[in-house]
Structure 1
């Protein structure tokens, strides 16, 4: 056993994977999130411990193998009674998220001008609103926050001008006080925006907008590498069942990857074993862009027979997802054949956190968006529990 530090400085044990065949392997794609595998390993481990305490099952989460072993995926396992039940493979595109994660407020403000010109004047808002009024309003959240800050600072400067006139202060002093107010106000507004998730949300909007403008070369290259890595691993160490899952913005990366797997021969190699799962998806955020022709082609390929089983889980309590929205209808991609695809399923998320009022629901949106990845008691789960589903025998 070796010791190594991951990219966040967290020390982890590196273990060689046993050769017994896992009952199930999940390839997981996180949303637009720079925190990487260490965050999701801690989240997953805690959820397994909660399930273990609640059910009495003898579950054990193994150590995480980090990017020092494999730059494309991090990996950990869950055993029950010594048998390998689940092999969890976190697929890395978090480094691409970090590369598209500007820290400067000025860069974000400048980019926001062009993005919201398209959103408000170019029809973006109405395209989103057609499929989800809540998502469309969430898209306005960053610009509404900036507008509110501008109004408050303008009123503050006007109040200072009134006070300066009453006290007969020199113009130079007034301008100095106004400048200090603007600088201090902007700094505090930035801190508040980060605390409320406004900055995170706009970075995600910015990245998806860039993908929608066909500036997706780095992500496309990574998707091709991930497909090759998955097929190689499944050839060397095949699992009885294979899941490809994407959460939030990871849902459209999942769709890209599933299409690329078909192009590379997964229909033959993984026949009958591969299924798709999207959690809190926002596929329409990308699909509504007319220039996202590569993504439209991916969806069209996935709709061809034989179709991969695809379950799409969303919630009307989650304002950051397109709840029960058919991704094919949202972008006008034809779907040959009969029957709905993917299978759209709604689950109630608010009851899992005991949220009963609109105020509580609105103030917990970002945390609620991660509720798909957590376990819950059966009476509160809403009919689906990801951790339990993953740990069931195929």
Structure 2
């Protein structure tokens, strides 16, 4: 069996495979970093998108100050590879998770976490007390997403005062993620609602400072809103992740700001009727939680999953079905609708330039959901 190697042609890759156009990816990274360098805002990319220490290193080399991860298990994978200036953006609750965190902090003291409850803060403090360790924490604020987070203002202040009595926690900042605004198509509405969220975040940071808390980090922003956030006074860092590869959901909201650099390469395995082709990429290769992936460069042709392993292409919108020149054995690329959940289905990135494989990166944090 031939294992793909650097130097191979893309034509030699088996399908389905997750392929990355390095030229486009590098342009995406440069474009984003340049924009925030000009705004003097730190970029702490969310690594739950790439799940790869190799790609994290590329982002750091381009100017990122560190990384975000969603889970302790992702932090373990990154820290093992020497990437340990990390913010874990999800609350850490329960003895098994806390004991893993404590082990991690022993070797990687720069890791920071978020809290949004008395119980969560108390249990974190207890776990650290037993190990005689300390940790930097951020208060997670609900700025409108209605997921995790305390309410801005009084609730946040109460939690901060509670936190100040816990000797193993050092409050250094606030996090407020406006995930509900990432994919709003109207730039005016997205900007206006983002400003509302930023006002809640920055006003709470100011109130906390007024009461004597050393709030250094005010962190927020995804690919869809990071630039709007960065222009709002009082924000110190942003957490975009998807910009590196993009997907159709973000492209439809943002337009051509960043290029679709990642696609799933697939093969036509059946051509049963004049208006249907079947490919070898189904639900186990492409996520559909944000809609259907898009066949690249094939206008009028639509994809839908045909089960775990099959994808069905139809072209009802093409006036003359015979124009759909898809034959058994043809290879097509699909642009994912949601990058994070699609990446998590694959073991490797096959990165290419000019049709030749230049790098193969394992998706090292694949399946790290704990």
Normalised TM-score (structure 1): 0.31
Structure with larger Rg: 1
Q: Which has the higher contact order (CA 8 A, sep 6+)?
A: 2
Higher share in helix: 1
Q: TM (normalized to structure 2)?
A: 0.33
